[in-house]
Amino acid sequence: MKRLAILGSTGSIGTQTLEVVRANEGDFEVLSLTANNNVELLLEQAKEFRPELVCIFDKKLAKENEHRFRGISKVVSGIEGLIECAVIDNADMVVGAVVGMIGVRPIIEAVNAGKDIALANKETLVTAGHIIMPLAKKKNVRILPVDSEHSAIFQSLNGENRKQIDKLILTASGGPFRGMNKEELKKVTLEDALKHPNWSMGKKITIDSATMVNKGLEIMEASWLFDVDIDDIQVVIQPQSVIHSMVEFIDGAVIAQLGTPDMRLPIQYALYYPDRVWLNGERLNFYELGHIDFTKPDYNTFEGLSLAIQAAKIGGSMPTVYNAANEYAVAKFIAGQIGFTDITAIIRNMMENHNVVSDPDVDTIIEIEQEIYKQIG
C-alpha cells in the first residue's frame, strides 16, 4: 500500500492519476488532494477517495465551500495549504501535477520532507532544478518523471549505467502547426492551437506543444533529471507520437520506449516503479501502424525551441524568465489578448532584457517570475 499526496488532482494528470488509483484497488491510499478552483470535482474526488486533507488554492472559494467537505476532509487553502498537502505525514509519494510555477515550493518542501516525487510539473525542474536535484540526492528521494518523454527516457535507462549515455533523443509530435512557416504561424487562432494531433492534455500544455515551448521546457527538464548536457539532447520530430523518446549509448545502441498516447502509462510507471502492472488501455499494433516518420525540427519557425536552448545554456535565472514569460503570454493568448506568435516574441523580449542571477534561491525565482509578469503587463 503506497500513500499518496496528489497536488493538482482536478487537472488532466491529476484525474488520470486517480483513474490509476481507482483501477488498482488496495494498492494506494490517497492522503491529500488539491485543486485550484474546481471545487465540484474536488468534492467528488474527496467523497470517493476520502483524503485527510484537501487544498482549495483560491482562499475565497475555500472559505465558501469548507462546510461541504465536513466529515470528509479538512480544508486548507493558498500556498501554505498546498505545502501542507505536500508534506502531509505518512505520504510515501507526492504526485506533483499542479500547472505552473506555483508547484515549485510545495515540491521542494516535499523533497525536504523525504517524500518521493512523481513529477508532472515541468516548471519545478526548469526553474529550480539546481536546488531540487542536489536536495533530492541529499535526502535520498526519487524524482520520477510523469510525462511521456521523460518517462520514456527513464524506462530506456532501466538497468543501464548512466555514465554510458551518449545522448538523449527527445521525440516531438511537432504539434498542430508542424510544417508551417513564420507567416502562416502568425495567422493561427486559439482554436487551431488547442487541436493537438495525438495527445489529449490540459490547455496550457496544448498551447505549449503548438509553440514547441513544451519541448523546450522538456529539454531543460531532461537535462536536470538525467544529468545530461543540453548539447547532448537531440529533438526529433516524429508526428505519430509512437516513440515516446530514446537514449543513445556510447556503443551506438539506441533504447526507446514506444506506446499508444496514454498518459496513464507514465503515471502508473512512476507510481509503481520499478514494477509494471497491467494497464487497461489500447496497445500498439505494428501491423496497423504502417510507418513512423522522422524529421528535424524547424528551429527558425519554432523559436520557442531555440530560445529554450539559449535559456538553458545561459542557466541561472534565465530558464525562470523563459518559463514565466511563456506562462503569462499563454494566459494572455488564451484570453484572446495577443496573437500566437506574440508568445515567443514576448519570451525573446523578456530574455533579452534580463540580467541573469546565477544560482537563484526560491525567493529570487518567485520574485523574478513576478517581475516578468509585471513587465509584460
- Residues of the shown chain interacting with its own copies in the complex, contacts defined by CB under 8 A: 155-156, 158-161, 164, 169, 234, 236, 238, 243, 246, 248-260, 262, 265, 268-269, 274-279, 281-284, 286-287, 289-296
Helix (H) or strand (E) segment spanning residue 20: helix 12-23
Q: How far is the CB of 290 from its own copies (least distance, A)?
A: 6
Longest dimension (CA), the chain: 61
In DSSP terms, 245 is beta-bridged to 257
- Residue closer to its own copies, measured from CB, 263 or 329: 263
Measured in whole angstroms, how far is the alpha carbon of residue 140 from the centre of its chain? 22
- Residue closer to its own copies, measured from CB, 274 or 377: 274
**What would the DSSP string read from start to end of 112-163?**
HTT-EEEE--HHHHHHHHHHHHHHHHHHT--EEE-SHHHHHHHHHTTT--GG
Q: How far is the CB of 166 from its own copies (least distance, A)?
A: 8
What is each CA distance from 259 to 262, 266, 286, in whole angstroms?
A: 8, 10, 10
- Residue closer to its own copies, measured from CB, 81 or 145: 145
Q: How far is the CB of 285 from its own copies (least distance, A)?
A: 9
Amino acid present at 228: V
- Residue closer to its own copies, measured from CB, 114 or 286: 286
- Residue closer to its own copies, measured from CB, 26 or 290: 290
Sign of CA dihedral 169, 121, 106, 155: negative
Q: How far is the CB of 157 from its own copies (least distance, A)?
A: 8
Amino acid present at 63: K
- CA distance linking residue 57 with residue 102, whole number of Å: 10
Q: How far is the CB of 243 from its own copies (least distance, A)?
A: 8
- Residue closer to its own copies, measured from CB, 255 or 314: 255
Q: How far is the CB of 212 from its own copies (least distance, A)?
A: 16
In DSSP terms, 171 is beta-bridged to 236
Sign of CA dihedral 184, 185, 191, 197: positive
